[in-house]
Amino acid sequence: MRPIKYYPKEIAFRATKYLLVLMTGAPKWHIATTYNKDYSAAVISYLNNCLNQNSSVAEIGCGTCDILRPLECSHKIGYDSDPRVLKAASILNAVLFEKIRLYQFDFTNNQSQIKWNFDVVILINWTHEVDINILKNGLITILNQINDGGIIVIDSVKSKDYKFNHNIETLFNGEDVVIDTIFSNKVRDIYSVTPVR
């Protein structure tokens, strides 16, 4: 049972996101709020236990920054391939007085144009659209550049409704990494992946 104060907050947030989607033309998926996504809550709570105020976090495919915003650190960067989504995210962040740097970037194009020297790099809820070889190349680029002690947080899906059901062991096959499962439900697993150096 949710506390009573949940409902006005959820209604107001959903209405704001609905308007932003109408204004920017961003896909309707972005109307949904984090409160109803168990996997987002799991990632946020896991990371807030590892981060400190000076930590740096990048999210690739950040959408409207619903995962980035609640993270308790001061250096946050969101990358997304869709300029309409970035527009919606930047308005929402401004309204909520949240400072997140946003950049348009397609991970399938040229992963080396970004220096991945962050403490955390998040890739959630879109890699099921990306071919394994492209994804693997990009992940190796990140692994080689991520800060010492840094982690990649990535999901994989296990449903025929998605284009690719990646296997986490195959994705990081041949790399010296520690993989932990931080969340699991019927369709999705979320992992933290730490390079061993």
* Given 17, 58, 80, 193, the residue binding ligand SAM (CB under 6 A): 80
Q: Contact between 82 and ligand SAM (CB under 6 A)?
A: yes
Q: Contact between 189 and ligand SAM (CB under 6 A)?
A: no
Q: How far apart are CA 76 and CA 71, in angstroms?
A: 8
- Among 13-21, 59-67, 90-98, 144-152, which window interacts with ligand SAM (CB under 6 A)? 59-67
Beta carbon nearer to ligand SAM, 110 or 178: 110
Alpha helices in 25-167 (DSSP H): 38-50, 83-95, 132-145
- Among 17-25, 73-81, 164-172, 181-189, which window interacts with ligand SAM (CB under 6 A)? 73-81
Q: How far is the CB of 176 from ligand SAM (least distance, A)?
A: 26
CB 58 within 8 A of CB 71: no
Q: What is the Cα 187 distance to its own chain's centre?
A: 17
Length of the chain: 197
Q: Contact between 61 and ligand SAM (CB under 6 A)?
A: yes
Structure tokens at 85: 């989504």
Diameter of the chain measured on Cα atoms: 50
Closest CA to 64 of 43, 98, 90, 28: 90
Q: Contact between 162 and ligand SAM (CB under 6 A)?
A: no
Contact residues for ligand SAM, defined by CB under 6 A:
29, 40, 60-63, 66-67, 79-82, 85, 106-108, 124-126, 129
